[in-house]
Chain A
Amino acid sequence: NAGVTQTPKFQVLKTGQSMTLQCAQDMNHEYMSWYRQDPGMGLRLIHYSVGAGITDQGEVPNGYNVSRSTTEDFPLRLLSAAPSQTSVYFCASREGVGGNTIYFGEGSWLTVV
């Protein structure tokens, strides 16, 4: 019963490098999203998807890209890493409309130097 799986757990990048955070869920959830968590700011929504082939921007999308080619996978790409992107990233999923619970991955700790 894997739930939401994120990789890698820890990553150090140099400024200007690119990388992809992987996210997969095995619950057949329609909705998937990426959040970043920064001290004192809670979780802020980066990008989200309401189904395969459909993505949209959240509160803080700049510097990130996403795609949703399958229901299961929702990778987050950092195009050119900046120190301001040092954060903890969480992938999440839930069933469609309604008061359904969000399920989170274990997080990816990213440091940009």
Chain B
Amino acid sequence: AQSVAQPEDQVNVAEGNPLTVKCTYSVSGNPYLFWYVQYPNRGLQFLLKYITGDNLVKGSYGFEAEFNKSQTSFHLKKPSALVSDSALYFCAVRDNTGGFKTIFGAGTRLFVKA
């Protein structure tokens, strides 16, 4: 069965510092991996995804994520955090065998302090 773990409920970082939001996954076969962001009272917005190829994936708003197959991780990173990055971040996984279900993590709230 597929599963996603986001071990941190909240991540606090100062503006200008690098940020990391952690995600580990479990899936049979090779994964499709996604990061989404949710701002207050809004739907989820797509940030980036890993399908195949280069393990470092670049996405919207300066975010990137690194796929690590041996550690089954897909951590979200940004070199320099902005206050406007404060939001709820979700990691998601889907297997690549044609399955429908995308499983989401519980979410990590990022708080960037000015």
Residues in chain A within 8 A of chain B (CB atoms): 4, 31, 35, 40-43, 45, 48, 50, 56, 58, 90, 97-99, 101-107
Q: Check if A31 sits within 8 Å of B100, measured CB to CB.
A: yes
Residues of B contacting A42 in the complex (Cβ-Cβ under 8 angstroms):
4, 90, 104-107
- Interchain CB contact under 8 A, A48 and B46: no
The interface residues of chain A lying within 8 Å CB-to-CB of B101 are: 45, 48, 58
**Complex: how many Å from CA A4 to CA B44?**
11
Residues of B within 8 A of A58 (CB): 101
Q: How many chain B residues touch the partner (CB < 8 A)?
A: 26
Tell me, in angstroms, the Cα distance from A78 to B98 when the chains sit together.
30
User: Is B46 within 8 A of A101, CB to CB?
Assistant: yes
Contact A99 B104 (CB under 8 A): no
- The one of A41, A50, A99 in contact with B94, judged by C-beta atoms closer than 8 angstroms, is A99
- In this complex, the member of A42, A45, A58 whose beta carbon has the largest number of chain B beta carbons within 10 angstroms is A42
Tell me the B residues contacting A by CB distance below 8 Å. Answer: 4, 9, 32, 34, 36, 41-46, 49, 51-52, 90, 92, 94, 96, 98, 100-102, 104-107
Q: List 9 A-B contacts (CB under 8 A).
A: A4-B43, A40-B9, A42-B4, A42-B90, A43-B44, A48-B101, A56-B100, A101-B34, A102-B102
Q: Separation in Å of the A101 CB from the closest CB of chain B?
A: 5
- Taken together as a complex, chains A and B put the C-alpha atoms of A97 and B94 apart, in Å, by 11
- On chain B, the residues within 8 Å of A48 by CB distance are 100-101
Of B90, B100, B106, the contact of A50 (CB 8 Å cutoff):
B100
Contacts of A101 in B (CB 8 A): 34, 46, 49
Q: Which chain A residue shows the least CB distance to B50?
A: A99
Q: Is the CB of B105 within 8 A of A99?
A: no
**B96: chain A residues within 8 A (beta carbon):** 99
List 7 additional contacts besides A99-B52, A101-B34, A102-B102; criterion CB under 8 Å: A41-B106, A42-B4, A42-B104, A43-B104, A56-B100, A99-B49, A104-B44
